[in-house]
Amino acid sequence: MSDKIDRKIQLHSIDDGNDGYNCYCCILLEWSDKAETWFNTGIVVRDIDPIMAMKRVIKIATSRNLWK
């Protein structure tokens, strides 16, 4: 079994505003071998600017040693 942990950042397009956000949503996901699926690590950022959303997720993930 490998010690490698797979993570990815996923950026979702701007929502329709029905939830009141009307923003892009950026999420840090981690792969679960046991469940054989990606799951949310709890780092979710919404922003009107997709680049800022991505930068904020990277900053938070880096501070928690989840991203290099």
Over its length of 68 residues, how does the chain's per-residue pLDDT go in tens digits? 455 689 999 999 876 667 667 889 999 999 998 889 999 999 999 999 999 999 999 999 999 999 98
On whether the pTM is more than 0.85, the answer is no
Place of tokens 């990277």: 58
Strands 37-47 and 24-32: antiparallel
Asked if residue 20 belongs to a domain, the reply is yes
Going by C-alpha positions, the residue among 44, 60, 42 that lies closest to residue 12 is: 44
In a domain, 2, yes or no: no
Number of domains within the chain: 1
Residue-number span of the structural domain to which 21 is assigned: 7-63
Q: What is the pLDDT of residue 17?
A: 61
Structure confidence by residue, pLDDT tens digits, 19-33: 667 889 999 999 998
- CB-CB contact of 28 with 56 (8 Å): no
pLDDT at 1: 45
The answer to whether position 37 is within a domain reads yes
Task: Determine, yes or no, domain membership for 68.
Answer: no
